[in-house]
Amino acid sequence: MTQRPDGDDPDILLCPNGPMILRGHHVIRTEEGDEVETERPFNAVCRCGGTARPPWCDGTHKVLARGPARRR
């Protein structure tokens, strides 16, 4: 990641194979047209489409990256 001249980190970070991290206040418009405001200093937005609580990342991307479950 390139450091900005003002020393601040970017306010949007894209995690490889994972969520988009938003820093600070943002308003997100969901696919259904609802607007959701970020409430915490850092918020993880799902980019994989697998979350059970959109638009937020719930960690499902980690399971999807492992592939289908194996049978014993």
Q: What is the CA radius of gyration of the chain?
A: 15
Cβ proximity to ligand FES: between 5 and 68 the closer is 68
Residues 5-44, interacting with ligand FES (CB under 6 A):
18-19
- Residue 47: both structure tokens together: 């980019």
d(CA 68, CA 1): 32
Name the residue nearer to ligand FES (CB basis): 10 or 49. Answer: 49
For residue 22, the minimal CB distance to ligand FES (Å) is 13
Q: Which of residues 41-60 bind ligand FES (CB under 6 A)?
A: 46-48, 50-51, 57-60
d(CA 50, CA 33): 19
